[in-house]
A and B are shown apart, each in its own frame.
Chain A
Amino acid sequence: MPNALNLDGIALTTEQGQWRRAAEQVARDVLAPHAADVDRYGEFPHEGITAVREAKLLGLMVPESLGGPGGSIVTGMLVTEALAKGCASTAMCYAMHQSTVPLICSLVDDDQAERFVDPILSGEWLGAFAMSEPGSGNRIWHMDSHAVEEDGGFLIDSFKSFATSSGHADFYLVPVRANADVGPTDLSLFVIDGKDEHIEPKGVWDGMGLRGNSSRPVHFNGCRVPREHRLGEPTAGFSFMMAYALPIYLVGLSACYLGIAQAAFDAAVAHVKGRIHSDTGRSLATVETVQRYVGEMKVRIDQARAAVLRVAQMSDNATVLFDEFRESELLDEIVRENPDDPYFVELAALKVMAAETAVAVSHMAIQVCGGVAYRRGHVTERCYRDARAGSLMAPSDDTLKVIMGNQLLGTPQPWA
């Protein structure tokens, strides 16, 4: 049923509408037709990423001050959701790339902007954010590996457990301890060229879902990184990650899982409308149980979308505040003193909610489609497996719930 009235109460700007339509076109024309093969063969979505590059989506969040379109987190969320409806693997690669962009842009000097931001803006560079390490797992606020200063730069030896787009990224954003003597959150951020021969992706990514995003371990095995590839102050990486990467990271993941839920819903609705039982001569859509499931899926998706939009908007507001602290050189100390600020807890809650929604909706979508959806290759089956990654991606839902509980109860956080 078409919308007779536009009562959403959410008016996008002209630019936001254009970006979303561009992403929808990429999803419809390129991502969706390749999604089944990407999933079946566990192949990196080269066609999808090429289309994303050509649509200039990689540079969406480069601020106007650096020559970019200045897309907001809300705009990024709209684009990611649209991509995820076509192919969740491509959307996740995009979301992880997007997580690097505001962080890089907040820290670059003029030379670094030319070196790192311009290729992102032109669509030449797809980024990977290599964070989690084997020692701390999904507790990504703790890094064990460290940089070693040497003539003209740094030696990086760091093993990262999961890095989306591993082996395919044009650059890696790598947080490690500033040196061997500092604490686990005294992080330096390095941009490492994807062509560095000392980057060693490990094995083959053979996940249950998100099978195309190449989330393999990667070993930066003695990468010699020029000094000018370190971003910002030596130990301020953690605070800048909290301010400029965590929001778009968690909103982006949430948008991705929202898109997965929507894709499962759309596939289920299409199926039940078209499936006619010979004994009754009526479609599955006339079955009351199916109608209830469809209604329930709609409720869950609407709740998730409202939450994602709200927290995305909140994050855009927070960015303005973080900019204020950054320009006053107060960001590092303010963030370190408030790592479980209620705003960060809102972000945590959003990711949990979106991931649980995607699992619940895709589960219901399979249920209404019946046995056909249990067969490998059905869209709802793929969505279910893709959705299942959500609660495990770092920080896992369980870790985030512990953080939320501690913040709400005033008890010590795991990093304290």
Chain B
Amino acid sequence: MDAHYINEVLNGNTNAFSYFIRTYQNKAYGVAISIVKDEENAKDVVQDSFITAYSSLASFRNDAKFSTWFYRIVVNTALQSIKRKKRKNEVLGDYAITDNQKTACNNAIGLLEKQDLKKLIKGVFEKIPAKEALVLQLYYIDDQNITEIEEITAFTKANVKVLLHRGRTNFYKVLIKQKRKEFF
């Protein structure tokens, strides 16, 4: 399907690009917001990424997946954006999370309704460092595997695994912090 619309756009049918916007804008927004942590900035990142993708579509190799190629543009644009606006990460503390705590968290969030769970995850991702939140978003929400995340982010496989581990730990830390406040 993607290949058909790519050919249409390359043959001069600009309107065919709408298909890509409709198909990928929400996922791209999720990726962007996990990095920039701000809705308006994330929308700007998605918009810029689509324009970059449109301009560079001729350089896209048809043997690759359009989504992987496009998410990589989104990640690069978002990382450039946060480089300009140095944002301070929340200090999450340097302590270990026990298996019991993890199990308790998983059980508790497993009981939440879909909307409450979305709200909770959104809040948690906002407090996790950009790269970790990005890897968690791609792995847990967008269902990308480690190899795909490696291609999208240009991080090494080992780095992706480290970020995933750290991201999970921070995910539970933020959850435990919030547990005292609202959700549990």
A and B, one complex?
Answer: no
**Residues of chain B whose beta carbon lies under 8 Å from any beta carbon of chain A:** none
Question: A residues touching B (Cβ–Cβ < 8 Å)?
Answer: none
